[in-house]
Amino acid sequence: MTISRKLFIAAVVAGMGSAAMAQEQVVKIGHIGPVSGPQAHFGKDNENGVRMAIEDLNAKGLEIGGKKVKFQLVAEDDAADPKQGTAASQKLCDDKVAGAATFLNSGVAIPSSKVFHDCGIPMITGAATNPELTKPGWNTTYRVIANDNALGAALADYVAKIAKLKTVAVVDDRTAYGQGLASVFKREAEKQGVKVVASEFTNDKATDFMAILTSIKAKKPDAIFYGGMYGQAGPMLRQMAQLGMNEAKLLGGDGICVPELAKVAAGAKPLENVVCADGGASLAKMPGGSDWKKRYDAKFPGQFQVYSPYFYDATMLLADAMKRANSWDPKVYIPFLQKSDYAGVTSRIQFEANGEMKNPSYTLSQFINGTKTPMELK
């Protein structure tokens, strides 16, 4: 074979490769979460869920609009800070992501949702639970987990109907999440005849609760409700033990309902009395939970927290809507996202008109020998 013929064949092969590449469409999916700071392990877990979904989608080799699609993750850090979160949201808009599976914190999600709305890009959260998020009713905002109305009401029901407690104290960390959850719990508990004997607040960086707890102890509540994260609930449990408050229950939402609570509580006896609520079913009761968790652990050993399966489903929902719409253009596929009926790892997912999930479930848990354990309630 002559050199010129070899060069000709090489050029043809290269051209074919270029043509194939030209037919591949990169579709960007965004994730924003705290991958630095004290909540970084949550943020990384959520990002892992999105990353795993993208790997699974690319392995399928989806075709949309006549082109083979390659999904690409665009990840940003919000450090659990609203200003950083809104800036990251604008960056995703500028990067022309087609959608986002995003946000751990309600305080970041709420202002950032307007950024996504203004640039016409749908965002789905698998963790931010404040009901205010979906109040505007934008067609760009969705949630695939129970909101604080469901969690606060579930804990109030537990207090009044199951534990049959008479008095509670309420503490919140003044964040959109903590204050919102605490206000729902307080309202629903009082409706059922439970007396709120103290209302206190702290902040989401605090570690010293002795003054608050000493004041609460004098009022002898049956339980303390804490609206906030486990990073504060752990020291609170240790200080409850120091004050001899070993019999009082500590109640809280998904922010404290994590395995790490046992670590930061460092063996404090009141950990035995924690009852917490998080959205969704336990992994064992999710339709695809157990098998999915095995795959997750193989890819990201030791990194699982709580929300990654919800972020996995959120990513899959975006792709499913694009596939049904035969387009990755948000203007085209948003109506299909609104009409989703998707069999996810976590549950069957359909949306209300405001972007809330239809029929969300929740799980109450306790800590037995330091291990978070779902409660079997009758």
In the predicted model, is pLDDT for residue 209 greater than 90?
A: yes
Considering the domain architecture, whether residues 338 and 254 belong to the same structural domain is answered as: no
State yes or no: pLDDT of 3 exceeds 60: no
Q: Is 7 found in the same domain as 81?
A: yes
Catalogue the E-assigned strands of 48-185.
63-64, 67-77, 99-101, 123-125, 141-143, 167-172
Q: Which of 242, 262, 278 is the last residue of a domain?
A: 278
Question: Within 10 A of 88 (CB to CB), how many other CB atoms are there?
Answer: 27
- Looking at residue 281, its pLDDT comes to 87
- Residue pointed to by tokens 């609760």: 209
Both 26 and 128 in one domain: the answer is yes
**pLDDT at residue 5, rounded to an integer:** 52
Q: Tell whether 375 is covered by a domain.
A: no
Backbone angles phi, psi at 363, to 5 degrees: -135, 130
CATH of the domain at 156: 3.40.50.2300
| pLDDT given for residue 14 in this prediction | 47
Residue 44 in any domain: the answer is: yes
Helix (H, G, I), strand (E, B) or coil at 51: helix
CA 43, CA 46: separation in Å to the nearest integer? 5
- Tell me: pLDDT of 18 over 90: no
What pLDDT band is residue 161 in, cutting at 50, 70 and 90? Answer: very high
**133 plus 168 within the same structural domain:** no
Share of the chain above pLDDT 90, in %: 88
Give the model confidence (pLDDT) of 167-198 as tens digits.
Answer: 999 999 999 899 999 999 999 999 999 999 99
Is 376 within the bounds of a domain?
Answer: no
Domain check: are 224 and 273 in the same one?
yes
Give the pLDDT band (50/70/90) at residue 280.
Answer: confident
pLDDT tens-place string over residues 229-258 = 999 999 999 999 999 999 999 999 999 999
Do 167 and 240 belong to one domain?
A: yes
Same domain, 198 and 116: no
Is 229 found in the same domain as 112? no
Average per-residue pLDDT for the chain: 93
350 lies in some domain: yes
Distance CA 291, CA 204 (A): 35
> How large is the average pLDDT for residues 281-297?
93
CA 79 and chain centroid, separation: 15
Q: Structurally, how many domains does the chain consist of?
A: 2
| Band of pLDDT at residue 378, cut at 50, 70 and 90 | low
Quote the domain boundaries for residue 226. Answer: 149-278
Separation between Cα atoms, residue 297 and residue 292, nearest integer Å: 9
CA neighbor of 159 nearest in space, from 216, 212, 224, 218: 224
The answer to whether residues 55 and 141 belong to one domain is yes
Q: Which of residues 226, 259, 278 is at a domain's end?
A: 278
Cα Rg for the chain, rounded, in angstroms?
Answer: 23
In a domain, 367, yes or no: no
Q: How far apart are the C-alpha atoms of 319 and 71, rounded to whole Å?
A: 9
Q: Are residues 237 and 178 in the same domain?
A: yes
Give the mean pLDDT of 278-292.
91
Which of 243, 262, 278 delimits the end of a domain? 278
pLDDT reported for residue 21: 47
How many CB atoms neighbour CB 36 within 10 A?
15
How far apart, in whole angstroms, are the C-alpha atoms of residue 371 and residue 357? 29
What is the predicted pLDDT for the residue at 40?
A: 94
pLDDT of residue 282: 85
Alpha-carbon dihedral 53, 59, 61, 64, rounded to 10 degrees: 0
Q: Residues 93, 277: contact at Cβ < 8 Å? A: no
Tell me the pLDDT tens digit for each residue of 51-99.
999 999 999 999 999 999 999 999 999 999 999 999 999 999 999 999 9
pLDDT for 377: 73
Q: Do residues 81 and 71 lie in contact, with contact meaning Cβ atoms separated by under 8 Å?
A: no
Judge if 219 and 139 occupy the same domain: no
In a domain, 365, yes or no: no
pLDDT at 367: 96
Q: What is the mean pLDDT of residues 356-378?
A: 91
Question: How far is residue 315's CA from residue 58's CA, in Å, rounded to a whole number?
Answer: 12
Residues 14 and 72 in one domain: yes
Whether residue 43 lies inside any domain: the answer is yes
Band (284; pLDDT cuts 50, 70, 90) = confident
Does residue 311 belong to any structural domain of this protein? yes
> Beta strand 141-143 with 123-125: parallel, antiparallel or unpaired?
parallel
